Structure 1
Amino acid sequence: MSEHHHDPFKPHLPELEQLKRNWDRRNFLIKTSMGIGAVALGSLLGNGLFGKTSKVTATANTGTADENLEAEILRAIPHFAPRAKRVVYLFMAGGPSQLETFDYKPKLVDMFGKPLPDSVRQGQRLTGMSANQSILPIVPSIYKFNQHGASQTWVSELLPHTAEVVDDLCIIKTVHSEAINHDPAITFFQTGNQLPGRPSIGSWISYGLGSDNENLPSFIVLVSKNAVKDQPLYARLWGNGFLASEYQGVQFRAGKDPVLFLDNPEGYDGTDRKEMLEYLTKLNKFQNEVNADPEVEARIKQYEMAYRMQTSVPKVMDISDEPQEVFDLYGPDSKDPGTFAANCILARKLLEKDVKFVQLYHQGWDHHGGLPAGMAKQCKDTDQATAALIKDLKRRGLLEDTLVVWGGEFGRTVYSQGKLAADNYGRDHHPRCFTMWMAGAGVKHGISYGETDDFSYNIIKDPVHVHDFQATLLNIMGIDHERFTYKFQGRRFRLTDVEGKVVRDILS
């Protein structure tokens, strides 16, 4: 062997060798003595005692004042006993119409084509798509509503399966937002701010509560392949923002490679891959010792998670062994991977594996025209599987500690955008009031909360702002939204910014 040959995994730069020599016993004890005992104890006790993977033991009193404060904030979570252990959030991207789903307005029947009264609009902002209309013609929904369940809740005929589980739902009719266009509105819901760059709600939960399954990410995203791609989705909607990258949502896809770049490269077997990752970890740990960059530590954790996921992901993504009665429950699309129905089955499997936050996105709800046909298709694609998820979680005993959320980024206007026909109309964006629902752990069931006016245009009782919704979700997970902060660029940020109040009237 040539005398010039050396192990490529051992750095030989003189500067690095000098740094290693300077890493003497005194420096080692100063840097690690305060945290090594906690790390050892955590290793001995494992994750089972605390119910989550700790992120703070190694930083105990060893970093800057800000780093120590962040550690103290995490140690305090949960701030109180959580009502739910996990969340599944069904996001209907595009803005589903509340007038065709849950907000029944019978007085509109005799007002077809009449202009929206100025006293109702009150000079409120319109989008550029309907601002130039000479009149804003009222159009009642063409779909029938009926009362269902012991709660006698009004539900549209478009949602017959959801009507079957209405006594499990907490329907909130008075959600409202300042954002009137899709991108800022959906970004607001997911991150607490209309401008991109903040951590998503799932990332905040992952950061604060850790993971109950070390072999799967704590925040997983599923996007329907069978949805109309009327409005784009961006990975930043489930991004980590200024939090460490280990807290970003991981998108699972249908097909051969559910997680990109997870499989072994061509020519590598499992042993080779493990050896390569071990060497890479050594290099990253050495870099972390030299630079103390938190992103290096996050990178190490991500590589370790990726290795474990090579075994765990194929198992959880395989729904072929589900009994036929499960496919019958979720509907005919449920055997087709990547559809909303199949993703609902996957969501249930991930929740069974104690994944903390699962988010499903289903696009196609932006009905500026052709709303009757468009809404019928969207509801057909999602209604049965949504109700099936509630039923399935309930019969498996998971609904009692799982929170289920359904909703979009805003609602739709009572007036028609563009041409109006009795069986063909469109509705513009309406952030002033719209409907969402929650079910499961932490919320009252079989209730409708809040009231809108006869036009579903303004709120007349119990408004729920986007920040109120976020504060309530965090509360259900055991987190005080006002105390849950992260310092970035000299300011302490939180999901709810400087607003938000918990909607206690809906809590069980």
Structure 2
Amino acid sequence: MPRQITRRHHLQQLTAGSIGVSLAGLQGRTLEAASSFQAPGPHHRPTAKRVIFLFMHGGPSQVDLFDYKPELQKRDGGQIPFDVPENLDAKTTLMASPWKFQQYGESGQWVSELLPHLAKKVDEISLIKSMHSKGQSHGQAVSMLHTGSDNLVRPSVGAWISYGLGKENHDLPAFVAIGPSSGHGGPRNYGAAFLPTEHQATTIGRQGKLGDATIEHLHASSGEDDPRQRRRLELIQSLNQTHLDRIGRDPRITGMIESYDLASRMQRVAPQVLDLSQESQATHELYGTDKKETENFGRQCLLGRRLLEAGVRYVELSTGNVWDQHGGLKAGHAKNALATDQPIAALLTDLKARGLLEDTLVVWGGEFGRTPTVQGSNGRDHNPQGFCTWLAGGGVKAGFSHGETDEFGYHAAIDRVHMHDLHATILHLLGINHEQLTYRFAGRDFRLTDVAGRVVNEIIAEST
């Protein structure tokens, strides 16, 4: 059964003393539930309190980054010795990776020369080499990754987590999406669908770009301490509440009430969190915000860390659809790797140094991978049949590799992990049983993993 949502009168919460908090208070995390409902809490003891998802939009090539295939290198230009899906445009001619691979760390994980910074972090990650998903097109696969459905409007992962656990900080959103794309599903990838609207993401930037790292209308036009603005808000909320009391429960109205409340609180709190100038020069250099190639994603990662530290429960960063190299693989993947490698490695370093990595789950991945066969003269087609994802922190094993693709890197072959399994595992690490987190809509109890999914216990560290 879904949670019972209870409404408390919002006027009682709009006193001047209850609205503002300092950045120091944010870093200490105000552990209040959202004003419109009481989250039920985890089903079991969590190992992660928050998640940051690094979305490599477009489909990074597993055989050029993490999944080293000696047989593919040997048989470059030959024919793949098995049938490939008919709806793919790729040829059956094998194309070796143009990059060298080397083993790193105590775990001996193979990593491409494209990722020199992440290569030094392999002993901190759990690499899943046997991912598979549904959807040959971007629209299908991106939706599957974000909502657990390839063709229907369903709540996003972040919205489910917000619904299941509530806010960690009462004065900030539970879910923030940085640089989300308008294509391939657009808002539904960070939307709440039929869940209460307060669980949808607050967005910053778009199309893989952070921009000026601001939220529209975040600053109060008449000054944050203007009593007129406070009285105006009180009047609006009073009228909204009166209307709600008259017509009965309506999720659209309750969502609007919560939106006004949250916006008021954020005007006093969020500008400090979004202000990257408060970080030291050494920190900016660590993330690469001082260099043209890494400036955008470096700022995204740095802002993501600040949001996590301030109590945002689920943060998604997006590269935009840049990993989609149907042609020009060498130039395209080199550019994308250069833009993201240092910032992501810096994020892991920074989270660990601040004591946050232990209970923060970092997830890296795209909607699918790419074929080991060539498309055009120098490209690879979409491949949901087998690809890589990695996780770090938050209770997963460090320096671990799970699953394998076939000898060419086309199909997930050993210890296969479906997208539903990944979602079930993320929820499990947050203390949520994916089969019990449900919401009744249109006469049915829906869940993120639909009627499938298993927790990938093999990548979870033993409790200490």
Q: Same fold (TM over 0.5)?
A: yes
AA paired with 1:299?
Answer: M
2:443 corresponds, among 490, 493, 507, to 490
1:407 corresponds, among 365, 369, 390, to 365
User: 338-347 or 274-283: which moved more?
Assistant: 338-347
User: 393-402 or 247-256: which moved more?
Assistant: 247-256
CA distance in structure 1 between the partners assigned to 2:335 and 2:375 by the alignment: 20
Whether contact under 8 Å (2:420, 2:449) holds in the other structure is: yes
**Cα distance 1:205–1:230, how it changes in 2: closer, same or farther (>3 A)?**
closer
User: 340-349 or 294-303: which moved more?
Assistant: 294-303
Query: Does residue 356 of structure 2 align to residue 398 of structure 1?
Result: yes
Report what 2:232 is aligned to. 276
Report what 2:196 is aligned to. 244
Query: Does residue 283 of structure 2 align to residue 326 of structure 1?
Result: yes
Alignment of 1:72-151 (within 5 A): 75=40, 77-118=41-82, 121=83, 124-127=85-88, 129-130=89-90, 135-151=91-107
Whether contact under 8 Å (2:171, 2:266) holds in the other structure is: yes
CA distance in structure 1 between the partners assigned to 2:29 and 2:55 by the alignment: 33
2:169 corresponds, among 210, 213, 225, to 213
2:310 corresponds, among 353, 361, 364, to 353
CA distance in structure 2 between the partners assigned to 1:411 and 1:262 by the alignment: 38
CA distance in structure 2 between the partners assigned to 1:277 and 1:378 by the alignment: 45
Report what 1:3 is aligned to. none
Report what 1:9 is aligned to. none
CA distance in structure 2 between the partners assigned to 1:230 and 1:209 by the alignment: 27
What is the CA-CA distance between 1:444 and the residue it aligns to?
0.3
CA distance in structure 2 between the partners assigned to 1:267 and 1:328 by the alignment: 34
RMSD between superposed Cα atoms in Å: 2.9
CA distance in structure 1 between the partners assigned to 2:59 and 2:365 by the alignment: 8
SS of equivalent residue, structure 2 residue 277: coil
What is the CA-CA distance between 1:258 and the residue it aligns to?
1.6
Report what 1:370 is aligned to. 328
CA distance in structure 2 between the partners assigned to 1:337 and 1:52 by the alignment: 36
Between the two proteins, what is the percent identity of the paired residues?
45
Report what 2:112 is aligned to. 156
What is the number of residues matched between the two proteins? Answer: 438
Unaligned runs of 5+ in 1: 1-33, 59-73, 420-424
Alignment of 1:407-426 (within 5 A): 407-419=365-377, 425-426=378-379
Report what 1:11 is aligned to. none
SS of equivalent residue, structure 1 residue 320: helix
**Cα distance 1:355–1:230, how it changes in 2: closer, same or farther (>3 A)?**
closer
What is the CA-CA distance between 1:109 and the residue it aligns to?
2.0
Whether contact under 8 Å (2:428, 2:434) holds in the other structure is: yes
Report what 2:413 is aligned to. 460
CA distance in structure 2 between the partners assigned to 1:79 and 1:441 by the alignment: 16
AA paired with 2:374?
Answer: S
AA paired with 1:237?
Answer: N
Superposed CA offset, 1:231-264 (max 9, x none): 6561221001101111000002345672223344
AA paired with 1:449?
Answer: H
Q: Which has the larger radius of gyration?
A: 1
CA distance in structure 2 between the partners assigned to 1:177 and 1:332 by the alignment: 34
What is the CA-CA distance between 1:504 and the residue it aligns to?
0.5
Unaligned runs of 5+ in 2: 1-5, 16-27
Whether contact under 8 Å (2:294, 2:338) holds in the other structure is: no
AA paired with 1:85?
Answer: K
CA distance in structure 2 between the partners assigned to 1:402 and 1:449 by the alignment: 20
CA distance in structure 2 between the partners assigned to 1:408 and 1:147 by the alignment: 23
**Cα distance 1:337–1:250, how it changes in 2: closer, same or farther (>3 A)?**
farther
Query: Does residue 337 of structure 2 align to residue 385 of structure 1?
Result: no
Whether contact under 8 Å (2:31, 2:170) holds in the other structure is: no
Alignment of 1:167-316 (within 5 A): 167-223=123-179, 234-253=186-205, 254=210, 258-264=214-220, 270-292=226-248, 293-316=250-273
Report what 1:7 is aligned to. none
AA paired with 1:504?
Answer: N
CA distance in structure 1 between the partners assigned to 2:65 and 2:308 by the alignment: 27
Whether contact under 8 Å (2:175, 2:314) holds in the other structure is: yes
AA paired with 1:434?
Answer: F
SS of equivalent residue, structure 2 residue 282: helix
CA distance in structure 2 between the partners assigned to 1:50 and 1:307 by the alignment: 17
User: 387-396 or 300-309: which moved more?
Assistant: 300-309
CA distance in structure 2 between the partners assigned to 1:377 and 1:210 by the alignment: 38
What is the CA-CA distance between 1:124 and the residue it aligns to?
2.9
Superposed CA offset, 1:245-291 (max 9, x none): 11000002345672223344589983332221110000011011001
1:479 corresponds, among 429, 432, 439, to 432
CA distance in structure 1 between the partners assigned to 2:275 and 2:363 by the alignment: 25
AA paired with 1:89?
Answer: F
2:301 corresponds, among 329, 340, 344, to 344
Report what 2:33 is aligned to. 53
Superposed CA offset, 1:166-209 (max 9, x none): 10000000010121100110011100101242100000000110
Report what 1:18 is aligned to. none
Whether contact under 8 Å (2:178, 2:203) holds in the other structure is: yes
User: 325-334 or 437-446: which moved more?
Assistant: 325-334
